[in-house]
Structures are given as structure tokens and as C-alpha cells.
Structure 1
Amino acid sequence: MINGEMQLNAPIRWAMVGGGRSSQIGYIHRSAALRDSSFQLVAGAFDIDAEAGRQFGIRLGVAADRCYPDYKAMFEAEARRADGIRAVSVATPNGTHFEICKAALLAGLHVVCEKPLCFTTAEANALLALARQARKIVGVTYGYAGHQLIEQARQMIARGDLGEVRIVNMQFAHGFHSAAAEADNPSAKWRVDPKIAGPSYVLGDIGTHPLYLSEVMLPDLKIESLLCTRQSFIQSRAPLEDNAFTIMKYTSGAIGYVWSCAVNAGSMHGQKIRVIGSRASLEWWDERPNQLSYEVQGQPAQILERGMGYLHARAIEDDRIGAGHPEGLFEAWSNLYYRYALAIDATDRGDAQALREIRYPDIHAGIDGVRWVENCVRSADNGGIWVKYT
């Protein structure tokens, strides 16, 4: 990947729903998608305020007549164009995701969606059926999974370097909402409104990130049951939680822990995952994403560095600049959007073999996140009891 050569014959004509001027996440979508010339932004419904969205799109270089007032108008108009869009990214509040994704798939478009994909597993399974019927991909932006050393951890665990996996300890525990930040911040306010955010705050908003990393690193680890307790330390957020602890029993006999928290005062980000085996452990921290700690019992601890020749070949594929130069979240997102483009291309060409070899957070990752949140909420709202994972 470090040579930066184009892998597609032409960039994918692409649009955004949301991601306008006030969006917290719109810029990284565009930066990642455009980084490798795999996508071309040609249309958008960027803002709930149609005129603000039009002005914003024009400043991005999108033609005025392709800056639409809403996603329905965009999908209808673009379908009539010979040069219409092939894919769309959804960067809107949670409560809109299902209807927009559904409409996009019915319009014959590939979809990249912010998480959560929707609110219920029934909705998620409906999107899966539509995606299969339309023969389109659905990507979910678990952006941290694009970091090179996540793939390195996956390969080391598969190789047996850790021995039998016993414990998976996960957390995403920042402190930026330790006070009622949403009181005067519209971008934060909707996240604690059940009508828009859904049945959870931190479980769905941040807890699913390290959960997905665990699924990448340990694809064969399956949850058997879980116990969750959640709290609203800022009372105005109730019934949504700003702190939650989840314990999971896996079918293999291993156990997992997830701490999801927005009130960890003083913590910048606090997303970590530690996989503990019978012989060794691995730990990755997103504030130091270019290092992977590898600790073998009875030996000196090792730090594996991004970009080095001793890493697995699949990890090296994600390299964007030589070792020693730090890569960050924008590079990780770019890796995912690059894979989305390859998956879209392979799907449209009917190349099932190529598609199988592309790892990216797909609709099944989205379903898994929705399912986990549902089970956590069910456990917590019944008094923090063990529930069978359904």
C-alpha cells in the first residue's frame, strides 16, 4: 500500500448524507475516502438545513445541482443520471441510520454507515436481507480497526503465540463528558436523547469499538452469556448511561470485560484491549497506536513497532509511510475506505474470491454491535443479571 498506486480503473462515484459543516465526523469520512483516489465525491445531502447543505457542498467542489435537500431527493435524482452515484456514506445521528440505509439499498447503492447500524437486530437483519438482494456491500465505520497493528495481533493470536486465550480485557473510557457537556453542545446533545441515540449511550457509542477490535483479533471467540450494569452519573442523561461494565463468558471458557465510560475524568481517550493467553499477552492502546505490547511470561516485555519488517505480511499491507513516522486515525480510516472501495469493485464485478480476501467491518459487524447492545441493555435493565446471549 505504501506505493500509493491506484487499484481501481476509475474512482467510485460517491455521495454523503450528513457530514456537513457542524459534523464531528464528516471531515474524516471525506479525508479517508479521497485519500487513495478510490472515491470521488460528486453529490451530497449534507445538512438538515437544505441551503446550508447546498452552500457547504459547493465549497467542497460539488456541483450545485447535485447538492440535494435530503437523501430521498438525492437517491431519486442520481438514479436518473448516467453518471449517478454508486455508493453513499451515512454520517447522521443514530436514529436516522436504518431508514437511510434501507433507502440506499433499495436504490441499488453500496453503503458505508456510522455505527450503530440501527437500533434492533430485527432492523439489522432486514438490512442484511436487502443487501443480499441488491448484491451491495454495507460497511460500518469501526475506524480503529484500520490500524496496522490490529492485523498484527490477529495474526499472532491465530499463530498460537499467546497460547490458549483466557481473558480479553477491553475499555473505552474517556472523561470528556464527566460534566453535562451536552447542555450547550448540539453535537453532543443528541447522543444522550433516547429518541435519537437509541437504547444506550456509551455502550453503543464507544463500547462497541473495542468489542469489534476483539472480534477482529479473535474471530472464533463467541459470546455465550453476559452480565451488564450501567449508570447515569449525570442524572439528566437517564435512562441512558454514561458508564457501564460488561462481563462476558465465551463458549471456549474464556472471559471478557468491557468498560464503557464517558465520565473517566482526566482520561483523554482510554481505549485499550488486552488479550491474555496461557503463555503471553498482547495489549494495544489507541493513544499509542503505532506500538503493540507483547509480553511473554518469564521474558522481557517487547514493543512491536508499526512498519517494521518483522511484522506479518498482512499487517505490512496497511503501511502508508516507513517505520518511525507515526500514523494515526486518519490513516486507519483511509485503510478502511480503501478496503470498502476494493469490496465495492469486487462485488460489482462478481469476483467472490477477491471479496472473501478483503477484511473490513461489514454488515455482520454492524449486526454484532447492535446485538451486543441489546443484550447489555436487557441485562442491565433487569438488575444486572446474567443473560444468555441471543
Structure 2
Amino acid sequence: MINGEKNIRYPIRWAMVGGGRGSQIGYIHRSSALRDHNFQLVAGAFDINPERGQEFGVNVHVNPERCYPDYKTMFAEESKREDGIQAVTIATPNSTHYEICKAALDACLHVVCEKPLCFTTEQAKELETIAKKKNRVVGIAYGYSGHQAVEQARRMIANGDLGEIRMIHMQFAHGFHSEAVEQENPSAKWRVDPEIVGPSYVLGDLGTHTLYLSEVMAPKLKIKKLMCTRQSFVKSRAPLEDNAYTIMEYDNGAIGTLWCSAVNAGSMHGQKIRVVGSKASIEWWDEQPNQLRYEIQGKPAQILERGMGYLYPEAVADDRIGAGHAEGLFESWSNLYRRFAMAMEALDCGETWNDIWFPGIEAGVEGVRWIENCVRSADNGGVWVEYR
């Protein structure tokens, strides 16, 4: 059980690029990173407007002298300090991720980056090469994967509780953009601008989250080929999709489906994953994140509750407040930031962290690769394509 006692020797000196005033995701990053005293926020380039960024930085208790006008200045100035930053979180629009992440790695900093990591697999592979050369951690913000129920599902599948995995059905389909809300909402506008968001909207913004859940739960499954169709139901969003369906064939013969949508009218969030095996199935819904549905063929369905002693020890280890109390998104993100910190410290001390899983650079590469293949399939008429 996590109770806030230290996991690492000293808090990691940490900065943010982006995530300033008005950034919902910036607040989630800060709250999660700071929760267990694994990180200490000491610097930032929080806003494209330097004055506004400095004002915000001071309001989150950062020394005004370490509130920088841009990330390049921050990396250069912090490198001159004995107490300079060791890690940085990138919470900026998609089109900037590659450039900032590369600069951070070149400055020998650990990185936590919003997804997608970049726009092309070639760029992603380049970042992976640099990270390995510099011996740096790159964490990807797949924040839902830190829930206890996800860890329980991972252990159940690995232990053979479900038997041979035959099907994985995934969806992340909300309804909040069922109309052209981006015409009045600046925070939504950039998400449908190809210059900023890249070659896809919901495939990258939503689909990669649930895809990574499947990779956490069933890491041995590898996609062999896929077929994707995508639509722009709000016509002004074309060529970017606001709805997409993907079918995947895995190398063991299993099949997977993923529906991602921003126009599922009436749905609050709609992220679900169901894994079907030869003996049993499990299902998790992020609107009820503390429960995992477990269905054994021929027996009544069971609801496995977070924090209970009948779970696998690795799932109970992620518990923070005991069974019965509701945990949510902030706890999930905090669990990931805890793992990021432990891996960062291990590398800095010349140690290994092979027993710590988290969404790392490989997950970032795979997310970009999946988007590219989906777009390639959809833009060629929804045909099957070999996964490459």
C-alpha cells in the first residue's frame, strides 16, 4: 500500500514546458507528480507568453528567476546550475512534442511527454535511439493505465486465469464534440487542426489510450495487420476524423477491435476494454474504475473491488486509501509518476529498473506506429494493411 513515504532517495528536480493557466492537463501532471514527494517543481516555461508564464509560475511556488520565457532558455540556463533540473514534463500541443522532447534528451534530461510522442514513426524511433544513448527515461502520459484494476487485469492474464486470449474489444467514445464546439472553444480548436494535432484526431487523442491499456494487460500480443475506417461527421473537421473503427489481427490468431469517437452523443467518457479468453473474460470501464468485472464460463459474474485482499499482490501494492473509498484519475496518474521517478533514479544511480513497468518510449513509438497504420488503411479505402 502506498502511504506517501519516500520511494527514492531525494525528490527529482523537475520542470514543466506548458501546462500553465487554463491547462487542465497541466494541473493533473503537477498534482500527480508532487503527491508522493518524488518530484519537486523548481522551474518552468509554462506559457507562450513569458509574463503570463512567470506570473503563473510564482503562483505555483516556483522562484520567478526560474520561470523562463521558453524551453530553450530553460534548458540552457538550468544546465549551468548545480541544482539544475533533472527531468521535464512536456504538456504542449502535439506539433511541438518532437522538437521539445529531442531538445530535452539532448540536454540529458528525463522526459514525461503528452501523447502522441510525435507525428511519424521515423521521428519516434529517432527519439528512442537518443533516449537509449543518453540513458534517459521517456514516459508517455497514458494516465489511465495506473489504475489498480488495470494492474489486476494484467496479472490475471499473465497467470492464465482467462486461458488463451481470443478477443480484445476496446472503445473510447465520448459525445462532447458531437457538434462543432471548436468554433467557440479554443482548447478544442487545436485538436482538429492538422498543423497542430497531426494526421488524426480521435485515433491519436483517444484511441492510443485504450490501445495502451491492451498492451499493459496483454503485452505478449503483437498486431499482425489491421483495417481502419474513419469518418468526419462534423464536416468542417475533415480531413481529420471524429469517429473511427479499427479491426486488428494479432500474431497468435486473436482479434481486436477499437472504436474511438468524439461524437458518441450522450456518452460521458465511454472508455472500456473487454478481454475474452478461452476460460473467462474481464471488463473494465473507466467511469467505474474501482471495479473489474470477471466472468468465468458457467459461473455467476464477479465484481472485483479495488484494494481487497483477494487481488494479486501487485495490484494491492498500488492501493492508496484502502478498500471502499473511491479512487480515480489523480491516483492513477500518481501511480505512473511514482514509477517514472523510481526508473529515473535507478538510471541516475547506474541501477536497473527492469521490474518497473510504465508507458515508456516503446509505448510512445507504438502509439505513433498504430496511428500511421490506421491512417494508411483508412485513406486507402479501409483495407487490410500489414502492420509495419
Measured against the shorter chain, the TM-score band is over 0.9
Q: Is the 8 A contact 2:86 2:109 kept in 1?
A: yes
2:382 to 365, 377, 384: 384
Q: Is the 8 A contact 2:229 2:245 kept in 1?
A: yes
* Map of 1:359 onto structure 2: 357
* Map of 2:192 onto structure 1: 192
1:70-108, Cα deviation, whole Å (9 max, x unpaired): 000000000001110000000000000000000000001
Verify: 1:227 aligned to 2:227, yes or no: yes
The amino acid that maps onto 2:270 is: G
* Map of 1:78 onto structure 2: 78
Verify: 1:43 aligned to 2:43, yes or no: yes
Q: Is the 8 A contact 1:167 1:277 kept in 2?
A: yes
The amino acid that maps onto 2:220 is: D
Q: Could you tell me how far 1:250 is from its partner in structure 2?
A: 0.5
* Map of 1:371 onto structure 2: 369
CA distance in 2, matches of 1:93, 1:373: 17
* Map of 1:64 onto structure 2: 64
Q: Could you tell me how far 1:132 is from its partner in structure 2?
A: 1.1
Q: Could you tell me how far 1:2 is from its partner in structure 2?
A: 2.7
Other structure's SS at 2:13 match: strand
Q: Could you tell me how far 1:283 is from its partner in structure 2?
A: 0.1
Other structure's SS at 1:380 match: helix
CA distance in 1, matches of 2:71, 2:54: 13
- Which region of structure 1 is more displaced relative to structure 2, 366-375 or 160-169? 160-169
Q: Is the 8 A contact 1:24 1:187 kept in 2?
A: no
Q: Could you tell me how far 1:255 is from its partner in structure 2?
A: 0.2
Q: Is the 8 A contact 2:4 2:37 kept in 1?
A: no
Other structure's SS at 2:304 match: strand
Q: Could you tell me how far 1:4 is from its partner in structure 2?
A: 2.1
CA distance in 2, matches of 1:8, 1:222: 34
**C-alpha RMSD over aligned residues:** 0.6
CA distance in 2, matches of 1:128, 1:36: 28
* Map of 1:138 onto structure 2: 138
Other structure's SS at 2:24 match: coil
1:18-71, Cα deviation, whole Å (9 max, x unpaired): 001021200000000000000000000000111110100011110111000000
The amino acid that maps onto 1:300 is: P
* Map of 2:162 onto structure 1: 162
1:242-270, Cα deviation, whole Å (9 max, x unpaired): 00000000110000000000000000000
> What is the TM-score with the length of structure 2 in the denominator?
0.99
1:288-329, Cα deviation, whole Å (9 max, x unpaired): 000000001111000000000000011111000110001000
Q: Could you tell me how far 1:176 is from its partner in structure 2?
A: 0.4
Other structure's SS at 2:41 match: strand
* Map of 2:293 onto structure 1: 293
Q: Is the 8 A contact 1:245 1:257 kept in 2?
A: yes
CA distance in 1, matches of 2:356, 2:81: 30
CA distance in 2, matches of 1:2, 1:248: 37
CA distance in 2, matches of 1:4, 1:72: 34
The amino acid that maps onto 2:378 is: A
Q: Could you tell me how far 1:158 is from its partner in structure 2?
A: 1.0
CA distance in 2, matches of 1:2, 1:321: 8
Q: Is the 8 A contact 1:120 1:370 kept in 2?
A: yes
Q: Could you tell me how far 1:111 is from its partner in structure 2?
A: 0.2
CA distance in 2, matches of 1:316, 1:21: 35
CA distance in 2, matches of 1:176, 1:5: 39
Q: Is the 8 A contact 1:42 1:62 kept in 2?
A: yes
Aligned ranges for residues 6-17 of structure 1 at < 5 Å?
Answer: 6-17=6-17
Q: Is the 8 A contact 1:174 1:265 kept in 2?
A: yes
Other structure's SS at 1:208 match: helix
1:270-299, Cα deviation, whole Å (9 max, x unpaired): 000000111110000000000000001111
> What is the TM-score with the length of structure 1 in the denominator?
0.99
Unpaired runs of at least 5, structure 1: none
